[in-house]
Chain A
């Protein structure tokens, strides 16, 4: 029996590190697009104002990049130390995308980030512009490989289990790469990064408007950021829709928990908040059909027959098959050398039930239900804030185009104060995705109680608190450096500097 406190602390540490990493990643992805658009305008028009604008946001990008760099490496440390069973069990399926990501990220970012920061007066405008775009593309492609790995954990495909090595072996690289869960997760996450970048740029620009300084710069930044942000948010909604369909298909318990849906059926309602429902809406979101069948938590535990006649096994039946798989695995290992004939038979039993392998670790079927409030409320926070921020960006762009943004202090304050909201929305999204798939480290194949290493929980607690201290320190440093950079503002125009020099 694995120590529940050890599992809890290991999960808490991983969650802390992942959440901290996700503070930096979305801003990198979003700012990369915004500053590249600004530089494109500079190259197209030759107006030095746009160069100064792009350079200022590059500076913010650089600070965020520097503080955020390597925070993802800690996750890889944790795989090897805290989740060693998992790391071995997934085999190269998980390692391959992460290795590609590491190599790709290193070479692209080391090359093009350097050209972007150091090359303004060293390389041609077009080459510099290409480097700026490639920096953003490199970060986006890196995110793709990470999300391929994450998508595989949510919906494992393209592999088979080898009981001799106790590892999963990749049989179809394309199936892993084109995993529908990974693809929709990639677009959903990356585009939410555009939204983050846009809200941060708009918020900071509104601070300049509140201070009545660098007005042209602020308004130009607002125009670009709100256009990128609105496009990104609409695309986030579209990809969220395809994500919901995939969750309904591959992780129905996550969807049922996110809706607090005990008993499902056709014309399933969507819960806005407890007690307020839209009839049939959940069926539309999950199946694109108002009559679509959406199973509830009880249906998934008790088993049910889908409208197309498919029999979905009860939790007990899956647990029985899981135990059969584990029993066959144990016997196969014991007989592999001494009795090849018996081993072959055990291997066949294992292969027949391997899809339920992880259920062999489930003692009580309630373990198969994630914490409903921990999934239900973050989902509503994510969607609610997403809608609010979309409305905010539309308003900001509208009033900017009408030349009224400078007078609307309430909108400037709202935009500034909305900066934390976009981060809360992003973190809430990850909570839905990751808490919602509990108890699974790998869906149906390995629960967290089998994935965790046999460690002393005190050691995990110690590193947890070290991370809290280190992460808080680095976050405070970033906020301080960014605040100083914002106060300093964009570079002054040459004529403005001359005028300032004359005054002095």
Chain B
């Protein structure tokens, strides 16, 4: 077929942008439908003789949660120390270093623990989910489930989604603890505030609200990670290279979604 070269007109560019936007809306639509279907199977599966598999859910929980503990611990500790260092450095300007404990406890529980844990799980488990589903899709394993009358959403997606929604908030609580602890060690080291005093101050100032703020975000992040991972995975085109592509895309999109949601959440909750 002879190749056509058209001039790069503004109209062409607008068309491309338009197409991208429509594509993105379509994809968000797919995500919504998937989420709806997942909830459907969670609720109605048993009655339709297709219950959600508990064993698979449990395996996923181990994979997503328990196996991530070491790396979450490491990141949380690092972030905790970093916040302490930066906090003290900044507050020194006002001579208010001792107030750093308040700053640390709020930043860790409300922002950093959920955000960093979310990004970590997106990179680790979101990519694994997209890769697994993408590979299954190219191998016709998803088709095989369908012809056997096994609904792929309730068989594959719901266990991963439920595991994610349960484990991510748990990991966030863990990150909260480790982060606050590590920050406490640094504060003790730099400012000489004893651990006991640090813990007292933290418990005094921190409210359940702050922790819940962080955990609610975690729950939302977990849904984003799972759904984006699945939608990208099954949308794979073309072989092993395609799997690599959708995996990368899933990670990038879920991290972006997490960060944007984080900002929106903060805006809505603090202004409401």
A and B together in one complex: no
Query: Which residues of A does B touch, CB under 8 Å?
Result: none
Query: Which residues of B does A touch, CB under 8 Å?
Result: none
